[in-house]
């Protein structure tokens, strides 16, 4: 039925062209540095003809022959307009002038003004540009993308010091995190205290919490699309900052007679340089660094090449006991090709890898694991006419997962070498989607993604008695590993298991009046890759595993409904969204599961399901000396796993239970106030319901020890989390003649020194023999100072 | 593995984190029977004297210790030979026998009748290697300046083996337990070390010359290894963000009369190698 509808709409769109029409296309850039601007609004004044620029700053607009005023607007830039006589197809590149020349002007990204925002069917998306992120007070003065998005409605973390983020009650591994299209498997530095994104290298981020466009696939919860800057194509530029924990430096310059440009950005921590001075930690080392690279070359007006890369690493070393390092590496080669003023294309070859190594010196064990993927994809945008835009493309992705290799760390080690089976898989997809304006008030967005996943051979597959990798022991009421009865070797050319899914994506927007609209969306998505983690927080040592014989792909269905209102000429904006999401085949871990070094993960898990629903409220103040937003989320996130093939009632008696990232209430208040040219202040306040945990409900004596007993999973909660951060930015008076610009950022994290519980542990005191509860709180009040400069 | 606790530790030092004891309201479950039936046959002995302990579970923060269960009927049967060993109620929560006959790889069956409900469990007597040697050193272990004890024993090749190691330090309130499997070390000489921390709050003090440690190396079954692995993990690190989710420990003692009233604890039958070491 859906297919029929889509074809119908396509025909309506293609054949309703009576009048003589012409197209105008081009690229929008920043006047000062030549950066392409994505998401800029391009429209013809006093008409309904308009569009926004794509990821590469490209736009195409079609209108009847006539004379118009072309207007371009983009947050943080002065409005641009020019008169235009449209009597032939034409191509114009336009450069916008930034509205302020300050180092980082105060900009809270309002949605695009006037027509685009309210009319576009796209909903459940949050956009932030680098300037906004840099404005927020951050821990230890370190600007952070992941921490910033956690201030938006529907996005939470899993406690201080945990990696990743959670979107609408989803798990951290259900987020597709892309840096210039390359998958980032671990977004954290310092075990989650910082993210891998260097704000100096970032142009723009989009977070899709639902209503995920058809061009994205492979994760069921959200897409975080982070784009790196292209590099200044006008002049050499140096950006940098000196902070307490780390420092950063970015260089940008034109290349090849202004036909190209590059950006190189580096960041490194240096806490480890001071550690030898502190007695307690003198033998320890903890550090991270990362490097961003981007370069582009314009072959001619219709062809542009981009090369981008990222390399990041965390190293920590505990006085010869444990040595651990981990990090992501990505690369992407892209070719933008404009076929004509209506057809834009991009071909990408993408590589990403995440790996870690852990050396346990005291048992002389050397452990490595990694995941590598290559991705070739071709995306096209066809601007059919003013009412219809098509996006379509194909993608092929290979995965190679090495879940673990153990080696003896020395010749005298008692460890035997062991390599877990490497896992290989291929994921292919084809998609098409249309944004279709049915009338002045109604716009539809409909798309379809078809994905195929094949788990490839090159390994043994274990068979289990009664085909049960996990068996319910009804005597003891526990789940146990199934009995292996044999194995089959699959050669590399064979497929072990293949899945295919159709993923429809639908959205509509109905404009109620000039200032308000309602939107609705439905998204189905499939996730073939799972992160194995039975700890309360994701850790860098967690292992990814592809779907296959025993692990099914996760399938989510999400519906969302929203209301949007602009108040007082867009001084204020209100966004209300409500959603319901259901995820099938969410894997869950049997009590006492052991995942580390396990070649047969299927013996530790059951296929479960998850559901989440909530209400999100966002009120923004977009204009004036004071800007900011208030976000409130009321939500529920639960999961359950029935016994199924394994028998028995299931995990936690088969009852629904709170996920670790369930937050009933989540409030974020972010504000920025510009006092004058020199001083600017900003603040965050965060309040969250405590994280669900399992507390002991009794004790008994065994082997002389007090052993705790536990009730159902995640029935209790940590105390509520709240925190206030403030920061002040001082910009010294500028010397008009000098290029050097600088600013000081003074910050206080956790201003009222709240001892938020990162966890509460229960232990028997070995001295007194009494049981006690201990709260671990990670960040108390932390003052910081950072010096930023630009040359 | 305890490495995540170490991660927390280092992060705690680096950042301004702190640990402080707090009062927490925890839920209270119904009390259950606890069966600590550890029939351990020490190498070189007859193994005829055995004790089984019965008690009750209490609320988590309960401090009164008198939880002894008396008046139960306790018997152990050798399932291979049919021989029955009745245990005598000592009226202090312990039940004893002096004529137990341990036989390697024989299966034993425990039956406890208490309050008209019958509890039972089955376990196989596993053998254990001899302790090769015990040494002391400072340069090994976690800290290069503190004394640690090194235990060495041979793992039989081509067979899965599971061990429980208990270190009893004379003068300490509680033993230290470690679970060991030969997953990565099959057929090799296994080395385990035991080092006490220089703990700031004085809960632990490092080893000194003259300290006496009783070492027990048990050969255990795989189900009991799984039980103890979880027990030890939960005892050591429960609640920190990198520990696995807390889960109810289920031993092997079921309730035939009313399955819901299962017992805590475990019925284990092991061979144990013991040695005592005095630090020089």
List, for residues B2-28, the tens digit of each pLDDT value.
Answer: 333 444 444 444 444 577 888 888 999
Report which secondary-structure segment, H or E, holds B265.
strand B264-278
Interchain proximity A535–B244, CB inside 8 Å = yes
The pLDDT score that the predictor gives to residue A103 is 37
Compute the Cα dihedral for A40, A44, A46, A51 and give only its sign.
Answer: negative
Comparing C-alpha atoms, which of A376, A398, A374, A530 is closest to residue A452? A398
pLDDT tens, residue by residue, A364-417: 778 889 999 999 999 999 988 878 889 999 999 999 999 888 888 777 777 778
Dist. CA B233–CA B242, nearest whole Å: 11
- Rounded to the nearest angstrom, the minimum Cα separation between B33 and chain A is 9
Cβ count near B117 (within 10 Å): 15
- By Cβ distance, the residue of A594, A755, A765 closest to B203 is A765
Q: Give the burial string for A762-791 (b: 16+ CB within 10 Å, else e).
A: bbbbbeeeebebbbbbbbeebebebebebe
Which residue of chain B has the CA closest to A473? B252
Comparing C-alpha atoms, which of B134, B127, B82, B131 is closest to residue B108? B82
* pLDDT at residue A139 is higher than 90: no
Identify the residue whose tokens are 């209490």: B58
pLDDT, averaged across chain B: 86
* pLDDT at residue B64 is higher than 80: no
- Rounded to the nearest angstrom, the minimum Cα separation between B35 and chain A is 9
Interchain proximity A699–B177, CB inside 8 Å = no
- Rounded to the nearest angstrom, the minimum Cα separation between B231 and chain A is 7
Which residue of chain B has the CA closest to A535? B244
Q: What angle do CA B150, B156, B157 make, to 5 degrees?
A: 120
* pLDDT at residue A116 is higher than 70: no
Q: Give the burial string for A49-69 (b: 16+ CB within 10 Å, else e).
A: bbbbbbbbbbbbbbbeeeebe
B105 Rama class: left (phi>0) / alpha (psi -120 to 50) / beta: left
Is the CB of A316 inside 8 Å of chain B's CB atoms? yes
- By Cβ distance, the residue of A321, A705, A776 closest to B19 is A776
Q: Which residues pair with residue A222 across a beta bridge?
A: A175
- Rounded to the nearest angstrom, the minimum Cα separation between B280 and chain A is 22
In angstroms, what is the C-alpha Rg of chain B? 20
* pLDDT at residue A667 is higher than 90: yes
State the pLDDT confidence band at B51, using cuts at 50, 70 and 90.
very high
- Rounded to the nearest angstrom, the minimum Cα separation between B57 and chain A is 4
The pLDDT score that the predictor gives to residue B168 is 92
Interchain proximity A715–B243, CB inside 8 Å = no
Take residue A658 and report the two structure tokens written for it: 């709170």
Take residue A112 and report the two structure tokens written for it: 């695009």
pLDDT, averaged across chain A: 84
State the pLDDT confidence band at A161, using cuts at 50, 70 and 90.
low
Dist. CA A594–CA A532, nearest whole Å: 10
ipTM of the complex, rounded to two decimals = 0.91
More confident residue, A452 or A458: A452
Comparing C-alpha atoms, which of A152, A174, A153, A157 is closest to residue A610? A174
More confident residue, B210 or A274: B210
Which residue of chain A has the CA closest to B252? A476
More confident residue, A782 or B253: B253
The pLDDT score that the predictor gives to residue B203 is 66
State the pLDDT confidence band at A223, using cuts at 50, 70 and 90.
very high
The pLDDT score that the predictor gives to residue A119 is 62
- Rounded to the nearest angstrom, the minimum Cα separation between A288 and chain B is 14
Which residue of chain A has the CA closest to B253? A476
Comparing C-alpha atoms, which of B236, B241, B244, B223 is closest to residue B121? B223
Comparing C-alpha atoms, which of A586, A500, A593, A596 is closest to residue A551? A586
* pLDDT at residue A286 is higher than 70: yes
Residue range B52-68: mean pLDDT, rounded: 89
Residue range A450-471: mean pLDDT, rounded: 91
B18-21, long-range: CB < 8 A, 24+ apart? B18/A755, B18/A776, B18/A777, B18/A780, B19/A774, B19/A775, B19/A776, B19/A777, B20/A755, B20/A774, B20/A775, B20/A777, B21/A772, B21/A773, B21/A774, B21/A775
Interchain proximity B20–A774, CB inside 8 Å = yes
pLDDT tens, residue by residue, A472-505: 988 888 888 888 898 899 988 889 999 999 999 9
Is the CB of A707 inside 8 Å of chain B's CB atoms? yes
Is the CB of A98 inside 8 Å of chain B's CB atoms? no
Take residue B275 and report the two structure tokens written for it: 């040695």
Q: What angle do CA A754, A760, A763 make, to 5 degrees?
A: 140
- By Cβ distance, the residue of A278, A414, A775 closest to B185 is A414
Q: How far is CA A279 from CA A276, A284, B7, B139, B148, in A?
A: 7, 10, 18, 19, 22
The pLDDT score that the predictor gives to residue B134 is 93
Interchain proximity B60–A414, CB inside 8 Å = no
Q: How far is CA A460 from CA A487, A548, A606, A749, in A?
A: 6, 12, 21, 51
Which residue of chain B has the CA closest to A763? B235
Dist. CA A583–CA A524, nearest whole Å: 10
Q: CB-based contacts of B113: which residues, under 8 Å, 6+ apart? A: B72, B73, B119
- Rounded to the nearest angstrom, the minimum Cα separation between A345 and chain B is 45
- Taking 3-state DSSP, the helix, strand and coil percentages for chain B, each rounded to the nearest 5, stand at 10, 40, 45
Where are the extended beta strands (E) located within A65-191? 66-73, 80-86, 90-91, 94-96, 125-129, 155-156, 166-167, 175-179, 182-183, 188-189
* pLDDT at residue A220 is higher than 50: yes
Enumerate the residues of chain A whose CB falls inside 8 A of the CB of residue B150.
Answer: none
Q: How far is CA B42 from CA B72, B102, B105, B162, B210, in A?
A: 27, 10, 15, 17, 25
The number of helix segments (H) and strand segments (E) in chain B equals 2, 16
Enumerate the residues of chain B whose CB falls inside 8 A of the CB of residue A704.
Answer: 173-175
Residue range A238-244: mean pLDDT, rounded: 85
Instruction: Average the pLDDT over each of A190-199, A529-538, A540-549, B193-202 and give the range with the smallest value.
Output: B193-202
Where do the domains of chain B lie, and which CATH numbers do they carry? 33-126+249-271 (2.60.40), 127-241+273-278 (2.60.40)
* pLDDT at residue B130 is higher than 80: yes
CB–CB contacts below 8 A, A to B = 263
Considering chain A, what percentage of its residues have pLDDT values greater than 90? 33
More confident residue, A262 or B239: A262
Enumerate the residues of chain B whose CB falls inside 8 A of the CB of residue A589.
Answer: 244-245
Q: How far is CA A741 from CA A671, A735, A745, B81, in A?
A: 24, 8, 14, 90
Q: How far is CA A296 from CA A39, A308, A309, in A?
A: 20, 8, 12
Dist. CA B233–CA B227, nearest whole Å: 10
Dist. CA A108–CA A728, nearest whole Å: 16
State the pLDDT confidence band at B80, using cuts at 50, 70 and 90.
very high
Where do the domains of chain A lie, and which CATH numbers do they carry? 2-101 (2.60.40.1120), 125-790 (2.40.170.20)
State the pLDDT confidence band at B244, using cuts at 50, 70 and 90.
low
Which of A52-61, A325-334, A385-394 has the highest mean predicted lDDT (pLDDT)?
Answer: A325-334
* pLDDT at residue A576 is higher than 70: yes
Q: H helices of chain B, where?
A: 3-14, 222-237
Considering chain A, what percentage of its residues have pLDDT values greater than 70? 90
Enumerate the residues of chain B whose CB falls inside 8 A of the CB of residue A778.
Answer: 11-12, 15, 17
State the pLDDT confidence band at A542, using cuts at 50, 70 and 90.
confident
Phi and psi for A734 in degrees, rounded to 5? -80, 140
Interchain proximity A774–B19, CB inside 8 Å = yes
Take residue B1 and report the two structure tokens written for it: 């593995």
* pLDDT at residue B228 is higher than 50: yes
Q: Is A338 exposed, middle or buried (0-12, 13-18, 19+ CB in 10 A)?
A: buried
Interchain proximity A698–B144, CB inside 8 Å = no
Report which secondary-structure segment, H or E, holds B180.
strand B176-181
The pLDDT score that the predictor gives to residue A553 is 95
Q: How far is CA B118 from CA A16, A109, B39, B261, in A?
A: 82, 69, 20, 10
């Amino acid at each position: 039925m859906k297919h029929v509808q889509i074809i119908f709409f396509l025909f309506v769109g293609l054949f309703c062209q009576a009048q003589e029409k012409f197209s105008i296309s081009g690229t929008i850039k920043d006047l000062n540095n030549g950066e392409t601007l994505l998401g800029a609004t391009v429209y013809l004044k006093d008409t309904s003809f308009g569009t926004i620029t794509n990821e590469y700053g490209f736009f195409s607009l079609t209108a009847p022959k006539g004379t118009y005023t072309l207007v371009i607007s983009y947050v943080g830039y002065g409005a641009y307009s020019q008169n235009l006589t449209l009597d032939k197809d034409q191509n114009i590149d336009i450069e916008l002038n930034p509205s302020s020349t300050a180092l980082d002007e105060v900009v809270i990204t309002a949605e695009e003004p006037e027509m685009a925002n309210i009319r576009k069917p796209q909903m459940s998306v949050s956009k932030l540009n680098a300037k906004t992120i840099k404005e927020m007070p951050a821990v230890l003065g370190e600007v952070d993308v992941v921490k910033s998005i956690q201030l938006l409605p529907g996005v939470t973390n899993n406690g201080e010091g945990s990696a990743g983020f959670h979107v609408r009650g989803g798990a951290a591994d259900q987020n597709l995190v892309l840096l210039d299209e390359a998958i980032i498997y671990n977004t954290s530095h310092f075990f989650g205290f910082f993210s891998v994104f260097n704000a100096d290298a970032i142009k723009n981020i989009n977070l899709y919490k639902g209503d995920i466009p058809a061009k994205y696939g492979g994760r069921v919860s959200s897409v975080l699309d982070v784009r790196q800057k292209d590099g200044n194509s006008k002049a050499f530029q140096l950006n940098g900052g000196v902070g307490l924990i780390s420092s950063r430096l970015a260089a940008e310059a034109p290349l090849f007679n202004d036909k190209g440009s590059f950006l190189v950005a580096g960041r490194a921590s240096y806490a480890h340089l001071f550690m030898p001075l502190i007695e307690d930690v003198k033998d320890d080392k903890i550090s991270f660094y990362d490097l961003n690279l981007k370069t582009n070359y314009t072959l001619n007006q219709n062809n542009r090449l981009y090369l981008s890369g990222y390399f990041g690493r965390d190293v920590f070393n505990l006085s010869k006991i444990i040595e651990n390092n981990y990090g992501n590496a990505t690369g992407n080669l892209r070719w933008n090709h404009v076929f004509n003023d209506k057809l834009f294309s991009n071909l990408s070859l993408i590589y990403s890898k995440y790996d870690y190594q852990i050396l346990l010196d005291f048992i002389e064990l050397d452990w490595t694991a990694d995941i590598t993927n290559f991705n070739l994809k071709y995306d096209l945008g066809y601007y059919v006419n003013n009412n219809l835009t098509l996006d379509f493309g194909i993608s092929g992705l290979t995965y190679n997962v090495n879940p673990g290799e153990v080696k003896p760390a020395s010749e005298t080690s008692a460890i035997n070498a062991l390599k877990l089976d490497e896992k290989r898989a291929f994921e292919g997809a084809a998609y098409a989607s249309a944004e279709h304006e049915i009338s002045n008030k109604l716009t539809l967005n409909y798309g379809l993604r078809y994905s195929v996943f094949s788990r490839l051979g090159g390994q043994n597959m274990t068979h289990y008695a009664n085909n049960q990798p996990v068996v319910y022991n009804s005597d003891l009421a526990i789940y146990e590993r199934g009995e292996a009865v044999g194995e089959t070797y699959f050669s590399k050319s064979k497929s072990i298991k293949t899945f295919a899914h159709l993923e429809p994506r639908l959205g509509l927007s109905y404009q109620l009046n000039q200032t308000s609209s309602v939107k609705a969306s439905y998204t189905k998505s499939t996730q073939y890759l799972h992160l194995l983690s039975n700890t309360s927080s994701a850790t860098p040592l967690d292992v990814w595993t592809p779907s296959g014989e025993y692990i099914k792909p996760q399938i989510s269905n999400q519906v969302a409904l929203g209301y949007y209102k602009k108040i007082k000429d867009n001084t204020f904006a209100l966004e209300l969204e409500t959603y319901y999401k259901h995820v099938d085949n969410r894997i869950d871990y049997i009590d006492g599961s052991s995942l580390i070094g396990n070649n047969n993960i299927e013996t530790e898990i059951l296929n479960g399901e998850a559901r989440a629903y909530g209400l999100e409220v966002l009120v923004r103040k977009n204009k004036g000396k004071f800007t900011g937003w208030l976000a409130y989320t009321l939500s529920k996130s639960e999961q359950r796993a029935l016994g199924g093939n394994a028998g028995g009632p299931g995990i936690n008696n088969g009852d629904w239970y709170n996920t670790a990232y369930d937050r009933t209430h989540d409030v974020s208040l972010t504000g920025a106030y510009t006092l004058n040219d020199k001083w600017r202040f900003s603040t965050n306040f965060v309040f969250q319901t405590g994280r669900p945990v399992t507390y002991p409900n009794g004790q008994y004596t065994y082997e002389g020890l007090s052993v705790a007993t536990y009730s159902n999973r995640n029935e209790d909660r940590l105390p509520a989390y709240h925190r206030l951060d403030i920061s002040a930015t001082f910009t010294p008076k500028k010397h008009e003649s000098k290029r050097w610009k600088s600013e000081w950022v003074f910050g206080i994290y956790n201003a009222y020194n709240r001892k938020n519980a990162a966890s509460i542990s229960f232990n028997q005191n070995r001295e007194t023999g009494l049981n006690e509860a201990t709260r671990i709180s990670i960040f108390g009040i932390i003052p910081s100072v950072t010096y930023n400069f630009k040359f | 593995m305890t490495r995540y606790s170490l991660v927390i530790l280092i992060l705690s030092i680096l950042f301004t984190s702190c640990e402080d004891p707090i009062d927490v309201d925890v839920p209270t479950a119904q009390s259950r029977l606890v069966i600590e039936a550890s029939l351990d046959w020490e190498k070189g002995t007859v193994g005829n004297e055995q004790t089984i302990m019965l008690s009750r579970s209490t609320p988590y923060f309960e401090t009164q210790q008198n939880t002894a269960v008396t008046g139960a009927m306790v018997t152990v049967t050798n399932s291979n030979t049919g021989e029955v060993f009745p245990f005598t109620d000592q009226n202090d929560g312990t039940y004893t026998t002096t004529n137990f006959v341990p036989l390697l790889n024989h299966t034993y069956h425990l039956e406890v009748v208490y309050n008209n409900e019958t509890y039972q469990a089955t376990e196989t007597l596993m053998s254990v290697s001899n302790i090769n040697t015990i040494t002391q050193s400072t340069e090994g272990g976690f800290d290069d300046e503190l004394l640690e004890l090194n235990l060495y024993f041979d793992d039989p090749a081509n067979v899965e083996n599971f061990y429980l190691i208990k270190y009893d330090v004379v003068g300490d309130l509680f033993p230290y337990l470690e679970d060991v499997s030969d997953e990565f070390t099959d057929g090799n000489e296994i080395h385990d070390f035991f080092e006490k921390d220089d703990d700031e709050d004085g809960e632990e003090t490092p080893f000194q010359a003259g300290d006496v440690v009783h070492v027990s190396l048990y050969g255990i079954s795989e189900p009991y290894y799984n039980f103890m692995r979880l027990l030890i993990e939960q005892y050591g690190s429960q609640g920190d963000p990198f520990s696995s989710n807390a889960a109810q420990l289920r031993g092997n003692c079921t309730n035939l009369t009313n399955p819901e009233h299962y017992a805590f604890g475990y019925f284990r039958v092991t061979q144990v190698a013991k040695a005592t070491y005095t630090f020089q």
